[in-house]
Structure 1
């Protein structure tokens, strides 16, 4: 396996910077991040988070439906509860993010 370069691709670096700016208890969707950057789309943001997101608060960049990332639900829920991120119950019984209350618009004034 080849060693990754010390430099992240520029787009990945920008996505990770946005993830780091999201305040505790708030979230942005993959599409929100792409829109805020004015570049790429939800899939590109998701790819960056999958490859490089482990060093940033990855649980704050989410799917638009508010369902925790499959395979990381328990770890994400621990973070959401610790940060008092708004959650709601689903008919199936599993917690889901309350997107109406948890979503952050990227405005620094809302930090």
Structure 2
């Protein structure tokens, strides 16, 4: 698998989904890092098992953000996604994937 910075703009259109996934991963990692720094808490403090009442969690149980941290994560994630995509010159909504900057 290519690294995000290995893609050239002329490759964006045919690789939009892969590039988007890579940006999403990096944006999430950056958002989590900012949350840890801003709140002075480890990542585990922000999540809880994604189970229904009465269910029991185990090692395979997925997690979700606690209600009090979900909005903070969403905001930081959006900011990081936009920053990374802009630095790369990528726009998922464009057919060719190339961000057109307004002058």
TM-score, normalised relative to structure 1: 0.24
More helix by share: 2
Work out which of the two has the higher radius of gyration on C-alpha atoms and give 1 or 2.
Answer: 2
TM-score, normalised relative to structure 2: 0.25
